[in-house]
Chain A
Amino acid sequence: MLTFLIRRLFTAIPTLVLISLIIFLLLDLAPGDPLADQPLSIPPDVRQKMRDALGLDSPAYIRYLLWAKQFFWVEPLVFVDWVTGTGFSEGMQRIVSWQFRAPVFDIIIQRLPQTLWVVGLAYLVGVLIALPIGIISAYRQYSWFDQVGTFVSMIGFSVPPFFSGVLMIVFFAIMLPWFPSIYDTTLVVNDFESFGQQIRQMTLPVMVLALQTTAQLSRFMRASMLDNLNHDYVRTARAKGMTEKVVLLVHVLRNSMIPVVTVIALGIPSIFGGAIITEQIFKVNGLGQLLITAIYANDLPMVQTLAFIFAVLIVLCNLIADMLYGLLDPRIRYD
């Protein structure tokens, strides 16, 4: 298992390098001038100096290698310094956002909590709701519970977040003023009241995102359970005199989880991608919003870094999915 893990990590490296290169080249092809939003009154020679300072006119491969060095070497050193208090990275040039004139990673670290709180929590809530719904729907197939579940997940499937989000705002923030429609990032949670406020402002975006996750995952869980409920080993477990609870939650569940954990793990990167729209609607200044504004502002280092981080997440989650798969299914062997 460990050797498998190490081997997989090693084979992931060329994949990631290739991905980073492709992202870079695609962004390089895109039209746009990072200095376009600078005042027109800047004299051309100053403008040229700014271009030189940003390294904009050097050849593409130099710019790529520079970015790669900063991403794979400087930023990890900065991280090590930050954790241990050493000074390895002193004097080294970090990846700097053109838009914010500040290191990209510092901004990401600022934005990450919002995304994790809202989107990560929504995913967690979605998964935790979806699994029991899927289990019960399968066990009580065609019952009213199953019918309602089918209907709700059909809605969750077919209504995009930009619509359900606006609908939620109209109903629960305007018609019934229960929840705020805008996420207040400056809110500091330090007492019971501000905690309640934080919960309330998180509710709507979490609900919108969780609905989507729940809809997809509960269907998947249901199908997997139904598939397993027909297997012979279920009959054996019943013939042994196991309680229905044991039959369902020990025998069937573990088998049914094998494909489901893969889907859950592979869904994690899409948290960040899927958050882009929802974060816009509720004005949550998380990573999704950061990416959108960086694209508008032609902030290539930021876009490049964020896109690459998403790619790393996808590769990592694939690996996690494979490992979980093997943990749940003893028939999978890693050699």
Chain B
Amino acid sequence: MPDTAMPILDVNGLKTVFRTRGGDVHAVNSVDFHLCPGELLGVVGESGSGKSVTMMSLLRLLPSPPAEMRDGTVMFDGQDLLTVSPEELRLVRGSKIGFIFQDPMTSLNPVYTIGFQLTEPLRAHLGMSKTQARARAVELLELVGIPDAQRRLKDYPHQFSGGMRQRVMIAIAIACNPQVLIADEPTTALDVTIQAQIIELMKELRRKLGMAIIWITHDLGVIAGIADRVMVMYAGEVVEEGPVREIFRDPRHPYTQALLKTVPAVRGARAEKLQVIEGQPPIMWEAPAACSFRNRCQFAFDRCGRENPALTPVTAEGHRAACFLLENTSTKEPEAVDG
């Protein structure tokens, strides 16, 4: 392993399947990744690529049925979160691993006050009394930049704007000083100026609290600015992973390359024409036996339809990609192959 620090979160061979009426949907297929203390891992990929399902699988947050974790290990704190008892898992949720969800409008319980919802984990995990928890809740709200925190504890979610609600969600997620914070598109549901504020807030919190963060987003620009490492997902698989600068400078998987071309001016060169990736990501009715991207890949050749490429190291810094082109043309830009 190229990283010097021991990872605090180590995921291996994670497989999540949804058992639906139409058949099994293989949403996560043998995903491996790790997270080091204090690190910020960016996770990108199109809608439906399995980012949320992967992260929710870690804490077994998906309702079962229909979700089923078929395989894999999630090592955290010396235990496998996929096999620990529900009670042990509960002690990790919200206390050692915090979760921020995509939609702040629906993620808070509409019939309880913010104060109640924020003090709940403090009392459950840290054993605080009601008054202690309220005092801490005020601190937390101030930390996430909610003015007049003392008074606002009595307010209900509908009395907050979307951006403010997401701040409350962040306060809840960091309430117990978790070692890992998973942020699932924390800004997608917000408008642009609010997005920027929330991103600033997250950066600041990270500086102050030093937790490791997994940040799921569609916004490659955000990733370029804050991530240490990037993981690119496609059809429930990790197709490329590595240090953020390498991914942006030298993407190896055709999907990553295409993804970067859909973003304006991330790579500095403003002149480049924006592109779209043609086609749709597939719905995974079967576990992938071949490269899932081949139908949309301009470089696909016959081998792509026979085997599924494994993640192979590209450089010594932990840059890995899953594409057969790496074997043939390890340093050059891949050439178009008709297939």
Please report A residues at the B interface, Cβ cutoff 8 Å: 229-233, 235-244, 246, 251, 254-255, 258, 328-331
Q: How far is the CB of A318 from chain B (nearest CB, A)?
A: 22
Q: Are B93 and A254 neighbours in the complex by a CB distance under 8 Å?
A: no
Instruction: Please indicate the chain A residues that have their CB under 8 angstroms from the CB of B156 in the complex.
Output: 330-331
List 11 other contacts, CB 8 Å, given A239-B94, A240-B172, A241-B90. Answer: A232-B107, A233-B107, A233-B108, A237-B120, A239-B98, A239-B99, A239-B101, A243-B124, A244-B86, A254-B111, A330-B110
- Residues on B with C-beta less than 8 A from A235 are 56, 61, 101, 107
A–B pairs, 22, beta carbons within 8 Å: A230-B63, A232-B101, A232-B107, A233-B107, A233-B108, A235-B107, A236-B107, A236-B169, A237-B120, A238-B93, A239-B93, A239-B98, A240-B94, A240-B120, A241-B91, A241-B92, A241-B124, A243-B90, A243-B124, A246-B124, A251-B109, A329-B110
B side interface size, CB within 8 A:
31
Q: Does B61 lie within 8 Å of A255, measured CB to CB? A: no
Q: Check: B121 CB closer than 8 A to any chain A CB.
A: yes
- What sequence of 0s and 1s flags, for each residue 136-179 of chain B, a beta carbon within 8 Å of any chain A beta carbon? 00000000000000000000101000000000010011000000
Q: Are A241 and B106 in contact (CB under 8 A)?
A: no
Query: Considering the chains assembled together, what is the distance between the CA atoms of A239 and B180 in angstroms?
Result: 13
Are A231 and B106 in touch, CB under 8 angstroms? yes
Which residues of B approach A to under 8 Å, CB–CB?
Answer: 56, 59, 61, 63, 86, 90-95, 98-99, 101, 103, 106-112, 120-121, 124-125, 156, 158, 169, 172-173
Which residue from chain A places its CB closest to the CB of B59 in the assembled complex? A239
Is the Cβ of A331 less than 8 Å from the Cβ of B158? yes
* Beta-carbon nearest neighbor of B91 in chain A: A241
Are B158's CB and A330's CB within 8 A? yes
Supposing A239-B94, A241-B92 touch, asked if A255 and B110 sit within 8 A by C-beta, the answer is yes
- Shortest distance between the CB of A23 and any CB in chain B (Å): 39
Residues of B within 8 A of A255 (CB): 109-111
Bound CA–CA A330/B115 (angstroms): 14
Cα–Cα distance between A221 and B94 once the two chains are bound (Å): 29
In the bound complex, CA of A78 to CA of B311 (Å): 90
The answer, among B90, B91, B101, for a CB contact under 8 Å with A236, is B101
Ordered nearest first, which 4 A-B pairs have the shortest CB separation?
Answer: A241-B94, A240-B94, A241-B93, A239-B99
**Given the complex of chains A and B, what is the CA–CA distance between A236 and B108 in angstroms?**
7
Q: Which residue of B lies closest to A233 (CB)?
A: B109
List B contacts of A251 (CB < 8 A).
109, 112
Chain B residues with Cβ under 8 A from A233's Cβ? 106-110
Given the complex, which residues of A lie within 8 Å of B110, measured CB to CB?
233, 255, 329-331
- Pick the contact of A240: B56, B106, B121 (CB < 8 A): B121
A251 to B157, CA, bound (A): 14
Closest to B99 in A: A239
In the complex, the answer to whether A328 meets B111 with C-beta atoms within 8 Å is yes
The winner among A229, A232, A251, A329 for most chain B CB atoms within 10 A is A232
Chain A residues near B95 (CB-CB < 8 A): 241
Task: Pick from A229, A238, A255 the residue with the most CB of B within 10 Å.
Answer: A238
Question: With A and B bound together, what is the CA distance between A112 and B95 in angstroms?
Answer: 56
Alpha-carbon separation in the docked complex, A18 to B90 (Å): 59
Q: Given A255-B111, A330-B111, A330-B158, A242–B124 Cβ distance below 8 Å?
A: yes
Once the chains are docked, how many angstroms separate the CA of A237 from the CA of B173? 11
A230 vs B62: C-alpha distance when bound (angstroms): 11
Closest B-chain residue to A240, C-beta based? B94
The CA-CA distance from A331 to B120 in the complex, in Å, is 21
